[in-house]
Structure 1
């Protein structure tokens, strides 16, 4: 599929999404359209896989044409279930396929009602129930709970709701997701596009589920520097899972791990993983508060990426000083700002040869008290901080504040200095948002990878220099971006003022002549 065809698919899906837009908020119609796209994907995946099984066994029948009520049909469906559920992790009968439901809902069939909402609701429940007792059960549990087909926001009456949903399914059914092309992640790209579109319209809520693609690319390229394969990647605040999947574009990843507190976003992350072709056996996404109820305490990871909520509140309960994630620092991050708590959590999970890149507000670079104690420990005692990268302001959805990327390694190759990069001016202004272009991303990543010193852009500060600054990491202390103003010629300016004054006197005299003619004297 060409780039133009990809763009057309993205636009088609966005147009269908806007069918729901007049009825509800951006984050609400997001859950419906992404949920229906996911149902269509699951359906087409089953259809394609079932047909392959049938044809490999010598059957010429299309799975969609199997009469599941006949004895022969029941045997075929049961045999395919046995073969398919362990591989894909779920199952759909022929009558439950998306295309059949979509056609039934939009076209009145003689003698048959086109009211599909109860049937559709039952099918979505059946998908989850088809996993019961299997190893994929946790990954599909309550996956469709945000698709409330009884919501009044879909319409005042049941007929209005049914008409709207039927229309959306009909238009989705007309789109070919091209699942037969195993090398194309066309649908995955389109899904990411939709998530980004929803994020741009969701205001402050956007930060709960999406990291701008250009920032994700920087983080991903940093943690995969000179590595083309990773055993595991982890995001403790994974949102929609987009950042984890972005790492997989830079290197082959065996297993994905994440944790997300928001239930709706957690569901979106699991859908996003499956829709990008990640097997349920290769991802482990949990729903819980990462700091208070961590779910992967027994694991360390090759790469860690994260964009935690900036300066979020947390308990900072003194009992957590007994927690091995925090105990060795002697201090907890303040209750009003959990930034360093997330950093400590990630450091704990970082493999000895791993690398971690995390987005943070600038306050973590210079705030005092407990945060200074933790910062000093990470640099002086552990020597884990590898780089500090300042990003432009106004590149995140929902906030205009400037941010930075902190890079940590437990076994640093260059352990006598910390690289500082000031990329705050590396952007292009687009509408209301600043955007990092590919050339800006390349400059940042290549400077990090090569640890290059560039005037007014990057500097390798020795640990002694950082200590002399009392472990204040404010970037202007290390990267001098001061631009000298052009020298002013005072004599030339004075002469110009004299000339202007002379011209003003001439004009005053001329104006007075006209005023006298009008009988006006001032």
Structure 2
């Protein structure tokens, strides 16, 4: 609790910086503009990298921490000594030259073409750090750190650049570099909250709710582990990956990802930087996982220790059906390719492809996974959905299922469940019905269900301990699941309980007599009512 209180001033100040940067964009005509996201996310990242560099350099050279103008002092270093800093800093810190620093640029804000100077500086930083900080596309192209940000403004570019830098210099990330995941996940969520309305309002594309992420991470990693790979084939902004990496430890895992959205991939890169996972940026791939899966080992698709995913449920993939049906994909898509709806192609159940891809990507014998699916998947009586369930049951790689409350995602009415896979689980399976948990709150124009910490912990503890609780959870065998047509719905396994009470013959006859009397009265009232209705109908005919 004490840590939360100490963090709050930093949280407030960081959120205020984000708000002020957005206000600058709005005053220069970029409010709610698609380019605002690029400016805010990149200038925020630049500020963080600048302060991270300052923080690490001052640890190496404590005298700089005491300097009134450390930027000026570091600029006086001999070129060879300065170059040595790059090796001393390590790969987690972007290397900046003296003329890249915010303080240096701030002092030149009144010079002509200041906007061009800022843009040139950002590109120079991107090129200098391209090997470590660039996101790759599926065909090997590199998406660098920064764009020419002021060019998104149609006029008064110098004034815009000055306004941004006036906000940057009054805030310092150095004081909070020691903060952990809880702090930076809060900041990241706040940073992107206004940019989740793209793609038809599909909030889940960029951010998976905290409750879902926490439950997945804690169930997948109940005990310490190390030197593992974690993967998300539909990574979005990386919320699931960050929670999982936090549960394992950033230094104990390597992140792999792929996502078709360039915007999401850039957000994920920012998330990795904030959460000490810079070493995994090289594994962030922007591309179509279904048609062109990137991550391979020994010319085969790579298999991972942990896979997490909140895939798109429905999407128009009709143009890719021929590619998906190719011979080389038959083993991966063992249950088949979903049909393309004739009248509504965007309703193609694309999540079933991601499920099959994840099963194929799990490390044999030890791999674990958690996938968010529409709840309808767990009871479908036929088709691809049932074939997939049959595969994971008969292969004995199912750990369990948690059916979440409705509206756990604020912008979709689709009920969701989380399917947990575990290639090592040859014993019983736990099924949880958490649909009655949570409290409904208003989020914008939408209703959202929020779980308390206690409710989240209840789900996690019940799953890990494999506990059976009345009307909440059951523990069943693989054979029992087969007998129920491979249903993974907890409710279908709950016992129907009949309460028996002792009663004497006299009491029984008295109760039956009372029931008969009430029935006779009800029948009499019914006949009277029927007669009244008939009389009224006759009267209406004559009228």
* TM-score, with structure 2 as normaliser: 0.77
1:49 pairs, out of 35, 53, 56, with 56
User: After the TM superposition, which residues 315-334 of structure 1 pair with which residues of structure 2 at under 5 Å, given as runs?
Assistant: 315-317=320-322, 320=325, 322-323=327-328, 326-327=331-332, 329=334, 331-334=336-339
**Could you say if the C-alpha distance between residues 30 and 408 of structure 1 is closer, same or farther in structure 2, counting changes exceeding 3 Å?**
same
Give the counterpart of 1:469 among 465, 484, 487. 484
On the 8 A contact 2:133/2:144 being kept in 1, the answer is: no
Q: CA 1:208 to 1:15, structure 2 compared with 1: closer, same or farther past 3 Å?
A: same
1:399 has 2:412 as partner: yes
Deviations 1:244-294 (A, max 9, x none): 111122222321111111012111211210122223357621111111111
Deviates more, 1:116-125 or 1:364-373: 364-373
* Aligned partner of residue 366 in structure 2, secondary structure: strand
Select the residue among 274, 295, 311 that pairs with 1:308: 311
Corresponding residue for residue 374 of structure 1: 388
SS across alignment from 1:239: coil
Return the alpha-carbon distance in structure 1 between the equivalents of residues 182 and 373 of structure 2.
Answer: 32
Equivalent residue runs for 1:464-503 within 5 Å: 464-479=479-494
Look up the match of 1:150: 151
Alpha-carbon spacing, 1:149–1:206, altered in 2? closer, same or farther (3 Å): farther
Matches within 5 A, 1:419-430: 419-430=430-441
Change (3 A) 1:14 1:40: closer
Match of 1:274?
273
Give the whole-Å Cα distance in 2 for the aligned partners of 1:428 and 1:4: 25
- SS of the equivalent of 1:44 reads helix
Q: Is the contact between residue 428 and residue 435 of structure 1 (CA under 8 Å) also seen in structure 2?
A: yes
Structure 1, gaps ≥5 residues long: 499-522
Structure 1 residue 320: Cα displacement: 4.1
Would the alpha carbon gap of residues 474 and 54 (structure 1) be closer, same or farther in structure 2, given more than 3 Å must change? closer
- Partners of 2:70 and 2:324 lie apart in 1 by 58
CA distance in 1, matches of 2:125, 2:225: 35
Alpha-carbon spacing, 1:386–1:66, altered in 2? closer, same or farther (3 Å) = same
Q: Distance in 2 between matches of 1:218 and 1:323?
A: 35
Distance 1:281 1:429, change over 3 A: closer
Aligned residues of 1:6 and 1:190 also touching (Cα < 8 A): no
Deviation of 1:27 (Å) = 6.0
Deviation at 1:474, TM superposition (A): 4.2
Describe how 1:203-242 pairs up with structure 2 within 5 A: 204-229=201-226, 231-242=228-239
Question: Which residue does 2:240 correspond to in 1?
Answer: 243
Distance 1:402 1:199 in 2: 24
Task: Decide which moves more: 4-13 or 206-215.
Answer: 4-13
Please report how far the alpha carbon of residue 33 of structure 1 lies from its aligned counterpart in structure 2 after TM superposition: 1.6
RMSD: 3.7
2:360 matches 1:360? no
Shift of the 9–325 alpha-carbon distance from structure 1 to 2, 3 Å rule, reads: farther
- CA contact 1:305–1:358 (8 Å) conserved in 2: yes
Aligned match of 1:510: none
**For residues 137 and 421 of structure 1, do their structure 2 counterparts lie closer, same or farther at Cα, with a shift above 3 Å needed?**
closer
Q: Residues 27 and 198 of structure 1 are in contact (CA less than 8 Å); yes or no, is this contact kept in structure 2?
A: no
Q: Distance in 2 between matches of 1:327 and 1:3?
A: 46
Output one character per residue of 1:320-339: Cα deviation in whole Å (capped at 9) or x when no partner.
46336735835334452122
- SS of 1:386's partner is strand
Q: In structure 2, do the counterparts of structure 1 residues 57 and 150 end up closer, same or farther at CA, with 3 Å as the change threshold? A: closer
Structure 2: stretches of 5+ with no match in the other structure: 341-347, 500-514, 526-543
Query: Counterpart in 2 of 1:191?
Result: 187
Deviations 1:10-61 (A, max 9, x none): 4313422441357332764333222111101111222233344445899989
8 A Cα contact 1:235 1:304, kept in partner: yes
8 Å CA contact 1:177–1:187 kept in 2: the answer is no
Matched position secondary structure for 1:466:
helix
Contact 1:10 1:193 in 2 (8 A): no
Q: Is the 8 A contact 1:387 1:406 kept in 2?
A: yes
- Partner SS, residue 87 of structure 1: coil
**Could you tell me whether the CA contact under 8 Å between 2:135 and 2:269 is conserved in 1?**
no
Contact residue 334 and residue 370 of structure 1 kept, 8 A: no
Q: 1:467 to 1:15 in 2, by over 3 A?
A: same
Report the equivalent of 1:512.
none
SS in 1 for 2:207: coil
Q: CA deviation at 1:312?
A: 2.8
Q: Distance in 1 between matches of 2:91 and 2:115?
A: 29
- Pick from 90, 97, 108 the counterpart of residue 93 of structure 1: 97
Write the deviation string for residues 329-373 of structure 1: whole angstroms up to 9, x where unpaired. Answer: 353344521222111211222122121111011232233223322
Contact kept, 8 Å, 1:255 with 1:282, in 2: the verdict is no
* Aligned with 1:170 (options 166, 170, 189): 166
Query: For residue 541 of structure 2, what is the aligned residue in structure 1?
Result: none
Superposed displacement of residue 390, structure 1: 0.7
TM-score, with structure 1 as normaliser: 0.80
User: Displacement, 1:481?
Assistant: 9.9
Q: 22-31 or 340-349: which moved more?
A: 22-31
Q: Distance in 1 between matches of 2:245 and 2:65?
A: 37
The Cα shift of 1:164 comes to: 3.6
- Aligned 8 A contact 1:392 1:426 in 2: yes
> Using the alignment, how far apart are the partners of 1:63 and 1:281 within structure 2?
31
Contact 1:466 1:473 in 2 (8 A): yes
Structure 1 residue 39 corresponds to structure 2 residue 53: no
Partner-residue secondary structure (3-state), 1:317: helix
| C-alpha distance in 1 between matches for 2:63 and 2:8 | 35
Conserved? CA contact 2:135–2:286, under 8 Å = no
